[in-house]
Amino acid sequence: MMIFCYLQEKDVFEKYYKQHLAKRLLSGKTVSDDAERSLIVKLKTACGYQYTSKLEGMFTDMKTSQDTMQGFCSSHPELTDGPTLVVQVLTTGSWPTQPSITCHLPFEMSALCEKFRSYYLGIHTGRRLSWQTNMGTADIKAIFGKGQKHELNVSTYQMCILMLFNNADRLSYKEIEQVTAIPASDLKRCLQSMACVKGKNVLRKEPMSKDIGEDDSFFVNEKFASKFYKVKVGTVVAQKESEPEKQETRQRVEEDRKPQIEAAVVRIMKSRKVLDHNNIIAEVTKQLQSRFLANPTEIKKRIESLIEREFLERDNSDRKMYRYLA
C-alpha cells in the first residue's frame, strides 16, 4: 500500500487489478477471500468507496451465484445423473468488459444452459443473460488406450473440441473450426495446448510441428499417460500484454475519465457559480489527484462539452470566465 500511495494513475492500477482479481475468482485460485477483501478495504480507505465499489460487486456476484446454483439444483433434482453445470452470474458493470463471443457448445451442455436460462429468467424479470464461454472451465473424464482413465481440467473451448472426438476418430482444423465456431486465434491456442505441449498432449496432430496450420488434422493421443489422475491442460497464452491490448486498456481508461472530469467541473461550478479557466483547471486537478493526474487539454475538452450541453456558459465580457447554468 505504501507503493500504491505514490502511483499517479491509480485508475490504471484499478483496471489491471480488476482483470487479475476476476481471473482468480472465476478460476478459484484465490489463496484467501479474507486477504482479497482486506486489500480492498485498504484501497477503499485510500481512494474512497467509488474506487472499490465494482471490486466489492465482484465478490457479491460470487456469493449470489452460489445461492442461485443451489436454487437451480433444488428445482431440477433429475440433473444429478448426467453432466453438471456451475454458472457464475456476473453483473456487466462490475466485471472487466469482455467481448461476448459464444461458441457452439456440445448438445449435452447447451441443453443444460437453456434449462438454467429458463430458471434464472423465471425468477429475475427484465434481465438478459449472455454466455461468456471464453471465460469458463470444464472437467472431463477421458479413457485413453489400454483403458487408462484421467480427469482433464480444460477450458470451455477445449471441452468443445475434445467432445467432438466422441463421434470422430480424426478431424481437420477446418472441420473443428466450422463445428465449434471458436474464434481462430483462440482455436489455434487451444489446439496448440492439447497437441504440442509435452505432458499435456491429449491430442496428436499431423503434420507434427509447434504451430497450428489450417491444413492440420487431429486425433486422440491413445498413448497419453500421466502419473496423475487429474490433469490440468492449460491454454497457451502470451507472456505479456501485447501493444494493441495496452492501447485498448489505455483507451478504456481515458473513456472512464471523461465523466469523472465532467462531474468534478460541475461540482466546482455549482458551488462557485463563476470561475476563470485557470482556476477550474487547478481545482479539477486537485479534486481528481487521488485517482489520476488530469490532463489540462482533456479538462478543456470536457468544459467545451459541458458548454455545448448547456451546463456552463462563457461570460460575454471575458471569454476565460465561465458561469454555471442551473
Plot region of 6 (φ>0 → left; ψ -120 to 50 → alpha; else → beta): alpha
> Domains in the chain: how many in total?
3
Of 220, 236, 217, 137, residue with least CA distance to 177: 217
pLDDT value, residue 180: 92
Do residues 19 and 81 share a domain?
yes
pLDDT value, residue 217: 92
pLDDT value, residue 303: 92
Bridge partner residues of 205 (DSSP):
218
pLDDT value, residue 31: 74
- Does residue 128 form part of some domain? no
Q: For the chain, which ranges sit under pLDDT 70?
A: 1, 6, 99-100, 236-242, 326
Bond from prior residue into 207 cis (ω within 30 degrees of 0): yes
Do residues 172 and 81 share a domain?
no
CATH code assigned at 266:
1.10.10.10
pLDDT value, residue 177: 92
SS3 percent helix, strand, coil of the chain, rounded to 5, is 55, 10, 35
Terminus-to-terminus CA distance in the chain, angstroms? 41
Domain that includes residue 216, residue range: 136-237
Do residues 275 and 202 share a domain?
no
Do residues 214 and 140 share a domain?
yes
Bridge partner residues of 203 (DSSP):
220
Do residues 221 and 257 share a domain?
no
Which residue among 237, 252, 286 closes a domain? Answer: 237
| Distant-in-sequence contacts of 129-135, Cβ < 8 A, 24+ apart | 129/89, 130/100, 130/102, 131/100, 131/102, 132/90, 132/98, 132/100, 133/101, 133/102, 133/103, 133/105, 133/157, 133/160, 134/98, 134/99, 134/101, 134/186, 135/26, 135/98
Other C-beta atoms lying within 10 Å of the C-beta of residue 288? 18
Do residues 64 and 92 share a domain?
yes
